[in-house]
Amino acid sequence: MSEATNAPVQEFEYKAEMKQLLHLIIHSLYTHPEVFLRELVSNASDALNKVRFMQVRNLPVLQPEAELRITIDIDEANQNLSIEDTGVGMTREDLIERIGTVASSGTLEFLSKAKSGEEKFDGGELIGKFGVGFYSVFMVTEEVTIETRSANPDEKAWRWTSRGEGKYTIEEIDRKERGTRIFFKLKEEAKDIANEYRIKDLIKKYSNFVDFPIFIGKDKINSVSALWQRKKEDLQKEELDEFYKFVAGDFREPMDSLSLHIEGRVNFKALLFVPAEAPMGYFDPREEKSLHLYVNRVFIQDDCKDIVPEYLRFLKGVVDTEDLPLNVSREVTQSSPVTAKIREIVTNRVLGMFEDWATSDAEKYATFFKQFGNYLKLGLGSDFTNKDRLVELMRFETSKTDAGKMTSFKEYVSAMSEDQKEIYYITGESRAVVEKNPNLEYFRKNNIEVIFLTGPVDLFTITTLTDYDGKNIISTEKADIDIAKDQDADAEDALKGREAKDILTRCKEILGDRVEDVIESKRLVDSVATLVVGKTGMDAQMERMMKMMDSNFASSKKILEVNMRHPLMKNLARINSENHDDPTLVQAVEQMYQGALLVEDNLQDPVDFVRRAMEFMEKATRS
């Protein structure tokens, strides 16, 4: 322990949320208390990266010749542990602002949910997710001391002590060495961690890829190796999996990896991973800090957003290049032609990998697409260079696939009959919903495959896709669908001539401005009516989406198509020819129209609809 100076010891209070966090950490995370070691080593490694970075930029550094390393000392007899680094150290302000504050606001929220049992969690996973960080040390000890001296030659050295109970103290000390030493006595429950073999094991498990040597006493215990510098053939699966877990902060194995050694107009090496699962949402914290940029093996950024396009952000791993300056800033990585070239090559190779899976291992590709398909769909709207490749990578369920099974455009087109000139899709909330849509009846009956678009992202992507292989891609709802086969076989029993014309006119009169037109349907088989849109209109799903985004969005008028073979239409036509103004006729047409609205989930006023249904039932059951 370094000498204290004569300066007074100052006492500080943690902020309220910090106290709450500490309480939760100490009382909820005990399932994996040993993760504290990973947290402290990772902080030491961050601190060492920062010094290395200062040095390559020629900034003044205290003790420039000091070796960059982490040293762990174990005193088994007294259950003491100390972790020391020669990194940037901390100023007094750092100690107050960085050590006394909660890192991410999401952490507290998640922790309290976990505690109240709302969310299941695993201590290790949790810390990996949110970086509870330094404070995890209070799982294994009652009191922690930090002695630190900043790498800035003008700063003094400080001692920080806390029992994690709401208070901490800071005093000036007489420490000469640059860097930070953290030490503490292990609690009774955690005393078996004070064991050389145990510590070695933990370092191997959690911190094997730290880019600085870790010593226990005089022995170096980790294998400092830049895995991405090695050729793919020399990499073992176990090593790759471990490395992935290390960079991605994930506890599962990755789906696959891609190693690139590129020489030419731009030079770089990369080791990239596709995780096993997509993050929960775009704001999942694991999304960040998982694509690392190195320049000549010097760590530069841990969340380099510029080396892959937005839609491939789910990739994790490392890109290391000689072609950027070491003091590269965010602005430079954004605009540099080197990053642009790297991005182009990485995208090309990654898409190539997906294409390989798609051709040689359809099952693997399907698993991948279920996880990351939405990302690729976003790419369809943004990566115009690779649009054709992305289109081929699309998969979707159709009226001919079993639930959960998917097909491609290529397969769809090769299964089309010669008469079919267009590619059809139908949109809806889920497979179950679209399967019941009356607009599907005609296609079913004529054995025409229809693509099911059921995710919110699908609706946007389909607007960017107008055709494939020279064939228009159109909604089953579009009124003037080019129906090749006609309905002759059934047409005999349909309403025809004057009677048909009159009932269509009467329907239009009753519905007035609410519909664009009322016409005879070619697509309905069992249902009596359906709403469709003209060539320029949007289909129902798309329109609902637009309304969600813009409350002033005006719907386009629909066309009501009616089934002239349906007994109800025949009855209505008969009533119409007897009495034009029959109230039952008016009510029935209303009900038919509102029923069609209800099916596409656009009925505003169900009360009216239900009331009318009751009246009809009452009439039907009258004795």
The residue among 143 and 256 lying less far from ligand ADP, judged by its C-beta, is 143
Range in contact with ligand ADP (rule: CB under 6 A) among 85-93, 228-236, 361-369, 396-404: 85-93
The window from 40-48, 136-144, 158-166, 516-524 that contacts Mg ion (CB under 5 A) reads 40-48
- Residue with smaller CB distance to ligand ADP, 85 or 543: 85
CB of residue 322 to ligand ADP, shortest distance in Å = 29
Residue given tokens 């990896």 in the structure block? 257
Q: Which residues pair with 293 in a beta bridge?
A: 301, 319
Q: Which residue is nearest to Mg ion (CB)?
A: 133
Token pair of 609 as six digits: 């609809």
Q: What's the CA gap between 133 and 141, in Å, rounded?
A: 15
In this structure, how many other beta carbons lie within 10 angstroms of the beta carbon of residue 551?
A: 6
Residue 97 φ/ψ, nearest 5 degrees? -85, -35
Cα separation, 101 vs 411, whole angstroms: 56
88 vs 170, which CB is nearer to ligand ADP? 88
Q: Please give the full DSSP string across 527-569, using - where no structure is assigned.
A: -SEEEEB-TTSPPHHHHHHHHHH-TTPPPPPEEEEE-TTSHHH
Residues sharing a CB contact under 8 Å with residue 41, sequence separation 6 or more, in sequence order? 70, 83, 203, 206, 207, 210, 214
249 binds ligand ADP (CB under 6 A): no
Q: 128 vs 373, which CB is nearer to Mg ion?
A: 128
Strand pairing class (256-262; 70-75): unpaired
Q: For ligand ADP, give the closer residue by CB, 179 or 373.
A: 179
Tell me, what amino acid is at 356? D
Piece of the chain touching Mg ion by CB under 5 A; list 66-74, 131-139, 167-175, 306-314: 131-139
Q: Which residue do the tokens 């100076």 mark? A: 5
Q: Which one of Mg ion, ligand ADP, none interacts with residue 85, CB within 5 to 8 A by kind?
A: ligand ADP
3-state secondary structure of 589: helix
CA distance linking residue 476 with residue 559, whole number of Å: 13
- Minimal distance in Å, beta carbon 275 to ligand ADP? 20
66 in contact with ligand ADP (CB under 6 A): no
Binding segment (CB under 6 A) for ligand ADP, from list 88-96, 348-356, 420-428, 512-520? 88-96
**CA–CA separation, 618 and 613 (whole Å):** 9
For 304-323, letters b (16+ CB in 10 Å) and e give: bbbbbbebbbbbbbbbbbeb
Q: Residue from 87, 89, 133, 275 that binds Mg ion (CB under 5 A)?
A: 133
- The single residue among 134, 160, 443, 609 that binds ligand ADP, judged by CB under 6 A, is 134
Residue nearest ligand ADP, CB atom distance: 133
Mark residues 272-291: x for contact with Mg ion by CB under 5 A, - for none.
--------------------
Footprint of ligand ADP on 162-181 (CB under 6 A): 180
Number of residues forming the site for ligand ADP (CB under 6 A):
18
Place of tokens 């107008």: 466
Q: How far apart, in whole angstroms, are the C-alpha atoms of residue 541 and residue 411?
A: 26
Cβ closer to ligand ADP: 285 or 455?
A: 285
Please state at what angle helix 583-599 crosses helix 567-578, rounded to 10 degrees.
150
Taking CB under 6 A as the criterion, the residue among 38, 43, 342, 576 binding ligand ADP is 43
- Could you tell me which residues come within 8 angstroms of residue 339 by beta carbon, excluding any fewer than 6 positions away? 306, 307, 324, 333
Please give the residues from 270 up to 309 whose contact with ligand ADP meets the rule CB under 6 A: none
Q: Report what 98 binds from ligand ADP, Mg ion, none; CB cut-off 5-8 Å by kind.
A: ligand ADP
Contact residue for Mg ion among 43, 207, 398, 461 (CB under 5 A)? 43
Tell me which of 88, 338, 507, 588 binds ligand ADP, using CB under 6 A: 88
- Nearest Cα residue to 183 out of 307, 94, 85: 85
Q: Which stretch binds ligand ADP (CB under 6 A): 39-47, 217-225, 523-531, 549-557?
A: 39-47
CB of 537 to Mg ion, least distance (A): 54
* Cα four-point dihedral sign 580, 584, 588, 591: positive
Is residue 528 a contact residue for ligand ADP (CB under 6 A)? no
Q: Which is nearer to ligand ADP, 105 or 604 (CB)?
A: 105
Distance of CA 189 to the CA centre of its chain: 39
The position carrying tokens 């009846």 is 441
Interface ranges with Mg ion (CB under 5 A): 43, 133
Provide the binding-site residues for ligand ADP, judged by CB under 6 A.
Answer: 39, 43-44, 46-47, 85, 87-90, 94, 98-99, 103, 131, 133-134, 180
